[in-house]
């Protein structure tokens, strides 16, 4: 979200971006533009998420340096339920929208592409041929939840696949969810794209291994943390591309001239170490299509 203020420009990134450096005296007036951001999750959950740093790497590559060309304001949100409050606190910095373009203050990169759930279902059936009962791990509080849920159910009905959903918006929901799936005879699990679930990636990988349930994910960070297979957008690319948007705005480009962009490249990551642990034979044709194989 971006908007012009009387004395400064306020910029916030859709989906949030990580910030490690402090700007000090955040309540005092500034001459530099301000990038406002909220970060979901605890420091431990965010450790190792390279895509957060890629935003600032992208800005530096474009010649924008924190403390010289812009300052940063951070609002933490340890859980999904705290995100509205964090966003409200950023808005309380009093950004003023242009009345001629009341909806023209929103732009950026949308890290979700229609059709992903259908492909994840396809991959689930490739790694577990004949799978008829599929568990879906979801976070219904995530804005991306509804379209993914609707799409995967529509596709599943065509193949007479039974979908068993579980809302795992809290870390303490992860272990019971996988144990429930195991007890109910789930063949394979799909973890939908959600901010909270990527934060819980280590716990999810452990739960999937403990129950020996093959699991398909939407983000590569899951596969890197021990998940079996992921197919989706590259968040490092998305955050680096978001830096380009902010760079353009810092240089005076109107937000209305920067349409929301969708990623065009999707990547397939396969963790063969996890496959061996689970006793899953990955089809050679699927391995040949992978963008990266984790040995």
User: Do 121 and 222 fall within a single domain?
Assistant: yes
User: Do 124 and 221 fall within a single domain?
Assistant: yes
Closest CA to 103 of 219, 227, 1, 220: 1
User: Do 74 and 7 fall within a single domain?
Assistant: yes
In this prediction, residue 92 has a pLDDT band, given cuts at 50, 70 and 90, of: low
Whether the per-residue pLDDT at 294 is higher than 50: the answer is yes
Q: What confidence score (pLDDT) does residue 186 get?
A: 98
Q: How many domains does the chain have?
A: 2
Whether the per-residue pLDDT at 1 is higher than 80: the answer is no
Is residue 111 in a domain?
Answer: no
* C-alpha 55: how far from chain center: 14
User: Do 57 and 8 fall within a single domain?
Assistant: yes
Q: What confidence score (pLDDT) does residue 96 get?
A: 40
Q: What confidence score (pLDDT) does residue 28 get?
A: 44
User: Do 137 and 242 fall within a single domain?
Assistant: no
User: Do 167 and 283 fall within a single domain?
Assistant: yes
Whether the per-residue pLDDT at 229 is higher than 60: the answer is yes
Is residue 13 in a domain?
Answer: yes
Q: Report the CATH number that the domain containing residue 173 is assigned in CATH.
A: 3.40.50.2300
Is residue 67 in a domain?
Answer: yes
User: Do 134 and 8 fall within a single domain?
Assistant: no
Mean pLDDT score, 152-161: 92
User: Do 21 and 155 fall within a single domain?
Assistant: no
User: Do 176 and 282 fall within a single domain?
Assistant: yes
Whether the per-residue pLDDT at 190 is higher than 70: the answer is yes
**Alpha-carbon span 288 to 284, nearest angstrom:** 6
Whether the per-residue pLDDT at 83 is higher than 70: the answer is no
Is residue 174 in a domain?
Answer: yes
Read off the pLDDT of residues 269-285 as tens digits, 9 standing for 90 and up: 999 999 999 999 999 99
User: Do 18 and 40 fall within a single domain?
Assistant: yes
Is residue 183 in a domain?
Answer: yes
Which DSSP string corresponds to 157-191? HHTT-EEEEEE--SGGGHHHHHHHHHHTT--EEEE
Whether the per-residue pLDDT at 6 is higher than 70: the answer is no
Residue that wins the pLDDT comparison between 47 and 95 = 47
Is residue 229 in a domain?
Answer: yes
Is residue 23 in a domain?
Answer: yes
User: Do 9 and 47 fall within a single domain?
Assistant: yes
Domain span including residue 142: 116-233+265-294
Q: What is the pTM of this model?
A: 0.81
Read off the pLDDT of residues 94-111 as tens digits, 9 standing for 90 and up: 544 643 343 456 788 887
User: Do 120 and 42 fall within a single domain?
Assistant: no
Which residues, including other chains, have CB under 8 Å from residue 65's CB and lie 6 or more apart? 59
Is residue 202 in a domain?
Answer: yes
What length is written for the chain? 295
In this prediction, residue 18 has a pLDDT band, given cuts at 50, 70 and 90, of: very low
Whether the per-residue pLDDT at 124 is higher than 60: the answer is yes
């Amino acid at each position: 979200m971006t908007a012009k203020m009387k004395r400064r420009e306020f910029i916030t990134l859709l989906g949030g971006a990580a910030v490690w450096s402090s700007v000090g005296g955040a309540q005092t007036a500034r001459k530099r533009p301000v990038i406002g951001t909220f970060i979901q999750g605890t420091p431990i959950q965010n450790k190792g998420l390279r895509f957060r740093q890629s935003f600032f790497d992208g800005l530096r590559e474009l010649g924008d340096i924190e403390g010289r060309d812009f300052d940063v304001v951070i609002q933490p949100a340890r859980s999904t339920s705290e995100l509205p409050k964090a966003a409200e606190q950023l808005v309380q910095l009093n950004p003023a929208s242009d009345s001629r373009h009341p909806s023209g203050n929103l732009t950026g990169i949308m890290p979700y592409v229609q059709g992903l759930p259908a492909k994840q279902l396809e991959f689930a059936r490739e790694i577990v041929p004949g799978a008829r009962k599929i568990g879906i791990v979801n976070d219904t509080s995530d804005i991306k939840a509804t379209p993914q849920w609707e799409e995967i159910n529509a596709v599943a009905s065509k193949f007479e696949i039974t979908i068993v959903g579980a809302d795992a918006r809290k870390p303490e929901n992860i272990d019971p969810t996988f144990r429930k799936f195991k007890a109910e005879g789930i063949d394979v699990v799909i973890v939908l794209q959600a901010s909270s679930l990527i934060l819980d990636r280590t716990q999810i990988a452990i739960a999937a291994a403990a129950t020996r349930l093959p699991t398909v994910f939407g983000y590569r960070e899951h596969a890197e943390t021990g998940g079996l297979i992921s197919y989706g957008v590259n968040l490092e690319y998305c955050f680096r591309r978001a830096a380009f948007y902010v760079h353009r705005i810092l240089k005076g480009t109107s937000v209305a001239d920067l349409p929301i962009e969708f990623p065009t490249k999707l990547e397939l990551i396969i963790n063969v170490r996890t496959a061996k642990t689970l006793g899953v034979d990955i089809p050679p044709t699927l391995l040949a299509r992978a963008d990266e194989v984790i040995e």
